[in-house]
Amino acid sequence: MRRAWIHDLLAWLRGEDNDLLPFEAVKHLNPKGEHYRGVQTIPVDKIIGSVDRYRDFDDAFLPRADHLKERWSNIRRLKLEGRELPAIQVYQVGNTYFVKDGNHRVSVAHLDGQKFIDAEVIELDVTVPPEKGDEVKDFIIKGEYANFLEITKLDELRPDHYDICFTTPGRYDILLDHIQKRQYYMGLNLKRDIPYEEAVASWYERIYTHMVGEMRASNALDAFPGRTEADLYLWMMDHRYNLTQAYGHDVGSRVATQSFVRHYKTPWHKRLLSKLLGRRERT
């Protein structure tokens, strides 16, 4: 229990969440179905959550409560005696796992540095899978992303598209609005009805990809630690609109990108602190 307390303290000092993920969070990913995969050997470090014991252990599966000690000690004793322990039961979501039965066995495996463990696996089908290190908020965002992909069919239209990941919920509706406006103005310019799929492809290739290209060329993401290209895309599109209103003409994505970074980049000392703390950055 002392190990868990120290682990909690270190996470608090780093400003990180070290709670074990509840399986309930998976509902945000909108699973399409499930399949029984039988008994497999799975990586211990890919187990990120629990069905009903997520409050009893931290994200390293260190036990947090004294009432767990007796059962935990018994399992470790059996393991040290060379007894064969039954396979745990897990749900697989992408390349990660949630424990249905066997939380104490996973905890002992973690402490002993065990790399793999036998598990009876039920796999859930999701469009955008979770990753180790995700929080509940990330599950919500990925569920929204899955809905965006289902509406736009971007996966089918452009199978090699950039991942469009946000750090806050509620942003994909804004992208859908951008696509609708793109469809409307394309119709005015071309004097014909524009199929939704054509508008999606045009928005992605001529607007989103172009803006991301400017970000990458200027290393804009380095100036905003912890943010993503999708985050910056929305901010820069707003900034581009404001500059266009101010100057009376469209300033273009390059000028908008350079101007935004110059005016709003994270101060250097905060960027340095973010690197020292090793906070996650995603594109």
pLDDT band at 275 (very low <50, low <70, confident <90, very high): low
pLDDT tens by residue, 156-202: 999 999 999 999 999 999 999 999 999 999 999 999 999 999 999 99
Domain assignment present for residue 54? The answer is: yes
Q: What is the pLDDT of residue 277?
A: 55
Domain ranges, residue 253 = 153-277
Do residues 279 and 225 lie in contact, with contact meaning Cβ atoms separated by under 8 Å? yes
Is the domain of 180 the same as that of 120? no
Domain assignment present for residue 197? The answer is: yes
What is the residue-wise DSSP string for 140-203? HHHHHHHHHHHHH-HHHH-TTPPP---SSTT-HHHHHHHHHHHHHHHHHHHTSPPPHHHHHHHI
What average pLDDT does this structure show over 209-217?
94
pLDDT: is 254 or 65 the higher one? 254
For residue 69 the two structure tokens come to 């000690």
Domain assignment present for residue 19? The answer is: yes
For residue 245 the two structure tokens come to 């209103």
Q: What is the pLDDT of residue 268?
A: 46
Is the domain of 195 the same as that of 232? yes
196-200, 239-243, 257-261: range with highest mean pLDDT: 196-200
- State how far the alpha carbon of 2 is from the alpha carbons of 12, 113, 169, in Å: 15, 18, 36
Is the domain of 159 the same as that of 253? yes
Domain assignment present for residue 148? The answer is: no
Number of domains in the chain: 2
Domain assignment present for residue 142? The answer is: no
**Nearest-angstrom CA–CA distance, 154 and 90:** 32
pLDDT: is 272 or 70 the higher one? 70
Domain assignment present for residue 179? The answer is: yes
Of 125, 143, 168, the last residue of a domain is 125
Q: What is the pLDDT of residue 4?
A: 47
pLDDT band at 44 (very low <50, low <70, confident <90, very high): very high
10 Å CB burial of residue 69 (0-12, 13-18, 19+) is: exposed
pLDDT of 228 over the 50 cut: yes
Helix (H) or strand (E) holding 101: strand 96-101
What percent of the chain lies above the pLDDT cut of 70?
A: 88
Strand order from edge to edge, sheet including 21-22: 21-22, 47-50, 96-101, 88-93, 116-125, 33-43
Q: Give start and end residues of each alpha helix (H) in the chain.
A: 2-14, 69-80, 103-111, 136-152, 154-157, 172-190, 196-202, 209-217, 229-247, 252-264, 268-277
Domain assignment present for residue 87? The answer is: yes
Q: What is the pLDDT of residue 236?
A: 92
Is the domain of 173 the same as that of 119? no
pLDDT band at 7 (very low <50, low <70, confident <90, very high): very low
pLDDT: is 203 or 253 the higher one? 203
Q: What is the pLDDT of residue 23?
A: 97
State the CATH number of the domain containing residue 109. Answer: 3.90.1530.10
Is the domain of 171 the same as that of 269? yes
**Nearest-angstrom CA–CA distance, 26 and 167:** 18
Domain assignment present for residue 207? The answer is: yes
Phi-psi region of 48 (alpha: psi -120 to 50; beta: other; left: phi over 0): alpha
Amino acid identity, position 140 = I
pLDDT tens by residue, 15-42: 556 789 999 999 999 999 999 999 999 9
Is the domain of 193 the same as that of 105? no
Is the domain of 107 the same as that of 186? no
Is the domain of 31 the same as that of 119? yes
Is the domain of 203 the same as that of 247? yes
